[in-house]
Structure 1
Amino acid sequence: MRDVARAAGVSQPLVSIVFRGASGASEETRAHVLAVAAELGYRRDERARLLRQGRSRLLGVAFEPVQPFHGEILDGLHAAALDHGYDVVLSAVTPHRGESAAVEALLRDRCEALILLGSALPPEHLERTGATLPMVSVTRALTTRTCDSVATDDHHGAVLAVEHLVGLGHRRIAYIDADREAGGQGRRAGFRDAMAAAGLSDRTLIVPGGASEAEGAAALTWLLSQDPAPSAVIAFNDRCAIGVIGQARGLGRSVPEDLSVVGFDNSEQASLPYIRLTTLAQDPRLLAGTAVDMALRRLQNSTSDPAPAAEHAVLPTQLIQRASTSRATTAA
């Protein structure tokens, strides 16, 4: 503001009046100061102003940039935060930057609340941080006392996938697991329970995999080496399922004629015309909106003694049928 005042030939308090939109400056002076500020490329430091008031109005988000579905949730978080007059600060989790470092960076940025996408932090870490400021886990269901969570019903989603394939006559159904990922335990348990309910416990096949295309492709290569090979595969997520489809085609197998494939997320890639993936839908906008609402409710109740118990929301999912699944050619 000193630079603007010097260039405009006015006092710094007058510049402050203009920038704040307060009374005390003529329209001519106001226009002159704003024109000079534009020429100098001045932008008001809104964060500094808020910090002087003891606020930042920032929601910090830790996420993995390799997960496309996280990108869809991020879009929803920005929209939901803006509706409440907040902005979002992003901190990426990468192979060379762990989640703890990503969270610590958000704390240094004075974020008022944290939202963690697919968090892998130990429960005791979440409890400890959640006791100091509002924190919400998204896509990973929790039972913690201080950290809120919102997730899709992973167990029921896997049940729907099995029921869909069994209804198409499939009996040799495999599940590609990703036990380290958020939602992994629920989906694996749902697969086991649904196979048992269908009388197929003796045919339950769970293979280690992961959440990437490469891990899906590697898992399918092993599955197709089995005798008998499965006629259908449920992948941990859409990325893994897309790897399965690509590998199947590369090995001369047709999808869905030779192999039916089901994913999880209903990400944007799932509806691509050359994929057309049957998948379990998560609603990224609803996940994001619920997370922001939880964070802001906890902010509003931050002075309550004792603090309110943590909220844990589980959202419904539904099966979206596309072209990657069809009737089994044999029920064996």
Structure 2
Amino acid sequence: MAPSSMGPDAKRPTLADVAVRAGVSTALVSIVMRGVKGASAATRERVLEAAQDIGYRPDTRARLLRSNRSRLLGVQFGLQHPFHADLVEGIYAAAEPAGYQVALSAVAPSRSEQHAVDALLGDRCEALILLGPQAPAARLRVLADQLPVVCVARRLRPPSGNVDVVRTADDEGARQAVDHLVAMGHRDIAHIDGGKAPGAADRRRGYRTAMKHHDLGHHIRVLPGGLTEDDGAAAARMLLGSRPRPTAVLAFNDYSATGVLDTLLRSGVTVPDEISVVGFDDIHLASLAHINLTTIRQDTLTLTQHAVTTAIAHLEGERTPVRETVIPPHLVIRATTATPRGHHRAL
């Protein structure tokens, strides 16, 4: 029966069904499906064609369970973090060619990190890749006593102990943003903070350090913010009510920056003529033509490749020391930054 004609109660095709269809033994079908030697090229082609005809798919999960391996990498991610979607895509791209599958578990306002991790452990994941976890470092180290743990996009203090860390140099990214704005003539540069979000403290510190480096310590202005558009919009409303207004804003992330852009637009403030805006992360949204946001790009490909290869190295028995890998970010200049004009220029 072709797969398109199978009803919801139809029996899943088996190796024996493929063998009947191809006119060979079940043992020979097993050899072909396992990709081992013992079948001619013609037989292999006939078996694979028969499997496709009847909709047979190898049950890799069952085979791995029999071998006492799941080859599953558990990934905890945040639904409120658009950047995490880019990281998940990169993890799939790195894991599947290496013979590992990915199990996802989301953190949401109604679903805690502990719940997300417990679900992954229940799925028999062999290692965990945690995207921006907010759990205490001590709890992460206890978890890493059970299985390899790779923490992505968060610095761990004190030193990570038995937890691997792969992160962006967030402070360096904030410095690049401030350097760019200062080079364009801005002096009154505000920063919309990320609160307790992973990376926020480093970005805040990088902003302050860069402002002081340019002798602009008296212009330092950090506003409470967060991860979302609403957080950016609320901070932008505070800025609009302040005097003097800043000529430039560095938002915690791109999502927050879009909230800033929307609020400025609705208030009749032009970007970048009156206020320049810089985001952080370079999510897909930032490059859309109607947003075209200047931002700090995190190298998602390198971050995820390091995270996956680190986890697999532990699982494959390589004597890899636990370490922190720090990836440099870089500035992407688009249309939301420009030289300040007229009386908006800070003197």
What is the TM-score of this pair, normalised by structure 1?
A: 0.89
- Against the structure 1 CA distance between its residues 30 and 324, is the aligned structure 2 distance closer, same or farther, given a 3 Å change threshold? closer
Matched, 1:193 2:204: no
- Against the structure 1 CA distance between its residues 169 and 49, is the aligned structure 2 distance closer, same or farther, given a 3 Å change threshold? same
Q: Could you say which residue in structure 1 is the equivalent of 2:6?
A: none
Give, in angstroms, the shift of residue 129 of structure 1.
0.7
1:81-110 CA distance string (max 9 Å, x none): 122111111111111111111111111111
Quick one: which of 322, 326, 341 aligns to 1:310?
A: 322
Give the SS at the match of 1:206.
strand
- Against the structure 1 CA distance between its residues 328 and 32, is the aligned structure 2 distance closer, same or farther, given a 3 Å change threshold? closer
Greater alpha carbon shift after TM alignment, 66-75 vs 119-128: 66-75
Give the counterpart letter for 2:309 in structure 1: D
Assess if the C-alpha contact under 8 Å between 1:141 and 1:314 holds in 2.
no
- Against the structure 1 CA distance between its residues 222 and 9, is the aligned structure 2 distance closer, same or farther, given a 3 Å change threshold? closer
Mapped partners of 1:58, 1:114: distance in 2: 9
Mapped partners of 2:264, 2:211: distance in 1: 24
Mapped partners of 1:280, 1:95: distance in 2: 27
Assess if the C-alpha contact under 8 Å between 1:15 and 1:33 holds in 2.
no
- Against the structure 1 CA distance between its residues 8 and 106, is the aligned structure 2 distance closer, same or farther, given a 3 Å change threshold? closer
Q: Could you say which residue in structure 2 is the equivalent of 1:15?
A: 26
Mapped partners of 1:33, 1:251: distance in 2: 63
Matched, 1:165 2:184: no
* Runs of 4 or more above 6 Å deviation: 5-10, 27-30
Mapped partners of 2:46, 2:292: distance in 1: 56
Give the counterpart letter for 2:336 in structure 1: S
Assess if the C-alpha contact under 8 Å between 2:19 and 2:26 holds in 1.
no
1:184-230 CA distance string (max 9 Å, x none): 11000011111111112122110111111111011100111111111
Assess if the C-alpha contact under 8 Å between 1:63 and 1:117 holds in 2.
yes
Q: Could you say which residue in structure 1 is the equivalent of 2:124?
A: 110
Assess if the C-alpha contact under 8 Å between 1:265 and 1:279 holds in 2.
yes
Give, in angstroms, the shift of residue 8 of structure 1.
8.0
Give, in angstroms, the shift of residue 293 of structure 1.
1.2
- Against the structure 1 CA distance between its residues 17 and 104, is the aligned structure 2 distance closer, same or farther, given a 3 Å change threshold? farther
Give the SS at the match of 1:264.
coil
Greater alpha carbon shift after TM alignment, 72-81 vs 60-69: 60-69
In the comparison of the two structures, how many residue pairs are matched?
324
- Against the structure 1 CA distance between its residues 32 and 185, is the aligned structure 2 distance closer, same or farther, given a 3 Å change threshold? closer
Give the SS at the match of 1:265.
coil
Give the SS at the match of 1:182.
coil
Q: Could you say which residue in structure 2 is the equivalent of 1:323?
A: 335
Mapped partners of 1:238, 1:208: distance in 2: 16
Mapped partners of 2:201, 2:44: distance in 1: 64
Give the SS at the match of 2:155.
coil
Mapped partners of 2:274, 2:280: distance in 1: 20
Runs of at least 5 residues in structure 1 that lack an aligned partner in the other structure: none
Mapped partners of 1:190, 1:205: distance in 2: 13
- Against the structure 1 CA distance between its residues 34 and 271, is the aligned structure 2 distance closer, same or farther, given a 3 Å change threshold? closer
Give the SS at the match of 1:156.
helix
1:10-64 CA distance string (max 9 Å, x none): 7xxx535523427599x8899689848954x543321111121121111111111
- Against the structure 1 CA distance between its residues 318 and 15, is the aligned structure 2 distance closer, same or farther, given a 3 Å change threshold? same
Matched, 1:48 2:67: no
Quick one: which of 277, 281, 305 aligns to 2:293?
A: 277
Percent identical across equivalent pairs?
Answer: 43
Q: Could you say which residue in structure 1 is the equivalent of 2:80?
A: 66
What is the TM-score of this pair, normalised by structure 2?
A: 0.86
